[in-house]
Amino acid sequence: WNTGHWPSIGLPSPLGSGTIPARQRYLEGSKFTVCPYDTITTWISKNNAIDYIQIGPSPATDHLYLSSLLSGTLYFRLMDLQGRILFTKFLQIPRGVHVKIDLPSSLYPGLYIAVCDQNNKQLITKIVITR
């Protein structure tokens, strides 16, 4: 090891020449390996909250406006970039009406994350606050 050179790990195998031992055992009928699928497909369903909930302006100074195409309770959170919740508010939002949210004066100018939850829809967006 002290020769100043990295040891060789051997010649590479030709592409497609290798096997997957667990898959081979499964194909041979072994009861010790469960490998029913070659691939697993996962996906994240589209969250259409951006089509329903609007928030602005950004940059904001002292307040934000929220509106929704759905009426009902909306839960609003403002977080810093470390995920700490700095401000929360439950709002009753009539359909299509802009509702004003007064921002706390304790918020420093900077970038924040706004999260709005309503009727199993969630909007997460960035908000810039200037003072």
Give the CATH number, domain containing residue 70: 2.60.40.3080
Taking the chain (131 residues) in runs of 10, the rounded mean pLDDT of each run is 66 74 78 57 58 91 94 96 96 93 96 93 93 84
Please answer whether residues 38 and 24 qualify as being in contact, where contact means their C-beta atoms are separated by less than 8 angstroms. no
- Residue 23 resides in a domain: no
Angstrom distance (rounded) from CA 54 to CA 116? 9
Q: How much is the pLDDT for 36? A: 55
Q: How much is the pLDDT for 46? A: 57
Count helices and strands in the chain by DSSP H and E runs: 2, 7
If one counts the domains in the chain, the total is 1
- Residue 32 resides in a domain: no
Q: How do residues 33-43 score in pLDDT, each as one tens digit?
A: 555 555 555 55
Main-chain dihedrals φ then ψ at residue 76, nearest 5 degrees: -110, 135
Q: Which residues contact 49 (CB under 8 A, 6 or more apart)?
A: 116, 118, 121, 122, 123
- Residue 105 resides in a domain: yes
Residue 78 structural domain: 49-129
- Residue 6 resides in a domain: no
